[in-house]
Amino acid sequence: MENVKPKKKQIDLNPKQFEGDERAAMTAMYEETLKHFSEGSIVRGTVLEVRPTEVLVDIGYKSEGLIPANEFRDISAIKPGDHLEVLLENLEDDDGMVILSKQRAEQQRNWDRVLETCVEGSMIEGVVKGRVKGGLLVDVGVDAFLPGSQIDVVPVRNLDDMINKTYDFKILKINKDRRNIVLSRRELLEERRRDQKKRLLTEIQVGQARKGVVKNITDFGAFVDLAGMDGLLHITDMSWGRINHPSEVVHVGQEIEVVILDVNLEKERISLGLKQKQQNPWDEIEAKYPIGTRVRGRVVNLVPYGAFVQLEEGVEGLVHVSEISWTKRVARASDVLTVGDTVEAVVLNVNKDEQKISLGIRQTEANPWDLVAEKYPIGARVRGKVRNFTNYGAFVELQEGVDGMIHVSDMSWTRKVNHPSEVLKKGDEIDAVVLEVDSTNQRISLGLKQAQDDPWTSISSRYTIGQMVKGKVTKLASFGAFVEIEEGVDGLVHISQISEERVQKVRDVLQPGQEVEARVIKIDPVERRIGLSIKAAKMADEEFHVSEEMLEGLRPGEDLVDLAGAFDAAMGASSESKEEWRPGDKGEDRR
């Protein structure tokens, strides 16, 4: 159907076509008719014609009016003859047409109805129409504004979820002049929540099981809405097992059933528990994991002093670093284990009250030290690699995890060894003899010199008084110099036997490494001493004889006579005793 503009009615009430009294009467009737039609008023009309884009309506005026088709929810339901209330927007536009609005008439009626039935502070139902700047637009019969701060008691993450949904609202303000209504859903929810809170606090009791909705999650726990107030579900009360973050157990919006652990009416605080809905796995722990039981678990945490192993949900045992290996010295558990490893262990101790289980990994294997005494009997000759030094000796690895220690006093038959590096180097493969075995303290004492022939047993057959010898200066002391005349055998040249001339300082005449020639002036196999004289080496054989003067510096009972003491003096050793490892000592750890 073509869009045809309405024609003016055939009747013409213009009083000019009449004369005399008749004209006056018509004039009065025309003016009276116009009084009933004013722009902005609501009038009743009858549908004359329904067109695709508009509806033609007769309101009893001299011309019909037009209503746009988009003002009808379903224009197909409109038929000629239907009666409508419309608002007269314009009595005559540029084309002489009457402009009507059905929607504005409805809004006006609704606004009047709202003013009649609603006051500030009353409750009203409405449908959220859409988002506007600063909040939401709500249809309560007329459009009303819901500010963003008044939408809910908590921030709403997605406002679009509320569109086309019906809610109850509280009227905060009505502006009649501007025809503006401001709503609040938050105040209504808070009022209801206060009522629910009072009711909840009178009903709630410790030990009750109640349903709630997870409202918020923090690092230390989750807040649960119990339909009246929030309760705190602490992370330690979420599970009997280990939890790194509450989000591993619950999520926002989740409905859960919790147990009331504590109610503080004064502070209005409620403590909740989730794990209490399940049996505590520690209740029968001693029967389930008796001492000596072999178990299997997963490493869940590493600390410097050990590793925590989860045996089941809520049950963890600690493997101390000292219980990881029989033979290896483990400084940190992380050097051997990583989180997630599956390990086997043995239960060493169970403390139900403190909820602690001690585990040992090394107990799953045989202790090699239990077989050490059998494998390395005293007197046995063994071979090993020099692994490490201390001030008092050297550690020799006999097998993986089993070391023996050679004390400096057992390194040489002939020398006073002050430090093991004087005789050995790290990595050397050496032969030694087992001197002592202490399986309890995991120690083996070895001797290096005992694996060699004692050169002093045949010293008298190899050297005689007056014999000329050559050697190398090895050490200097204030009283003389030590000269190595064969490997492992040193002789002492007293300062008085260095030169015919008086020697004030030994280092003015001799230097370490210097080759010298001397005569043997004393041999003492018992005290393991050889006295030498460089001065006597310049004598002819027939002129040489041992005099009291030659032996003056080597008299028994004097400090210089003891070759071992002489070495101490040569190295500047103090008279204070030094801590040394001996078999059975419990001092410095050998590893």
Q: What is the pLDDT of residues 308-361, one digit of tens each?
A: 999 988 899 999 998 998 877 788 999 889 999 999 999 999 998 888 999 999
Per-residue pLDDT tens digits for 375-424: 889 999 999 999 999 999 999 998 877 889 999 989 888 777 889 998 89
For residue range 172-191, list pLDDT tens digits in order: 988 877 778 899 999 888 88
The C-alpha atoms of residue 559 and residue 2 are separated, in whole angstroms, by 140
DSSP string, 496-532: GGS-SS--S-GGGT--TT-EEEEEEEEEETTTTEEEE
Would you kindly state where each structural domain of the chain is located, as residue ranges?
Answer: 15-106, 118-189, 204-277, 285-362, 368-451, 464-570
What pLDDT is attached to residue 548?
A: 79
* Joined tokens for residue 566: 């002489």
Instruction: Answer yes or no: is pLDDT of 5 > 60.
Output: no
Q: Which residues pair with 263 in a beta bridge?
A: 270
pLDDT at residue number 201: 81
Both tokens of residue 162? 């509320």
**533 bridge partner residues:** 519
CB atoms within 10 A of CB 478: 12
Tell whether the model's pLDDT for residue 565 goes beyond 80: no
Where is pLDDT greater, at 447 or 199? 447
**Candidate ranges 133-147, 451-465, 573-587; pick with highest mean pLDDT:** 133-147
Judge if 285-362 and 464-570 fold alike in CATH terms: yes
Q: Give CA–CA dist 123/54, Å, rounded.
A: 38
Predicted confidence (pLDDT) per residue in 28-67, tens digit: 554 555 556 777 678 888 888 888 888 888 888 777 888 8
Q: What is the CATH number of domain 285-362?
A: 2.40.50.140
Query: Could you give the CA distance from residue 427 to residue 354 in angstroms, rounded to a whole number?
Result: 48
Which string of b and e fits 549-574 if b means at least 16 CB within 10 Å?
Answer: ebbebbeeeeebbbbeebbbbbeeee
Distance CA 353, CA 446 (A): 47
CA 159, CA 6: separation in Å to the nearest integer?
46
What backbone phi and psi angles, to 5 degrees, belong to 508? -75, -20
- Local confidence band at 570 (pLDDT 50, 70, 90 cut-offs): very low
H/E element holding 35?
A: helix 20-35
Per CATH, domain 118-189 is 2.40.50.140: yes
Tokens of 418: 């002050």
What is the topology classification, in CATH, of domain 204-277? OB fold (Dihydrolipoamide Acetyltransferase, E2P) (2.40.50)
Alpha helices in 394-516 (DSSP H): 459-462
In CATH, the number for domain 15-106 is 2.40.50.140
CA dist., res. 31 & res. 185, Å (int): 51
Specify the pLDDT at position 290.
92
Say which CATH topology domain 368-451 has.
Answer: OB fold (Dihydrolipoamide Acetyltransferase, E2P) (2.40.50)
Q: What is the DSSP letter of 137?
A: E
The answer on pLDDT for 583 being more than 70 is: no
Looking at the chain, the whole-number percentage of residues with pLDDT higher than 70 is 87
* Residue 523 confidence class, pLDDT cut points 50, 70, 90: confident
What is the longest distance spanned by two Cα atoms in the chain? Answer: 192
Instruction: Tell the CATH topology of 464-570.
Output: OB fold (Dihydrolipoamide Acetyltransferase, E2P) (2.40.50)
How much is the pLDDT for 493? Answer: 93
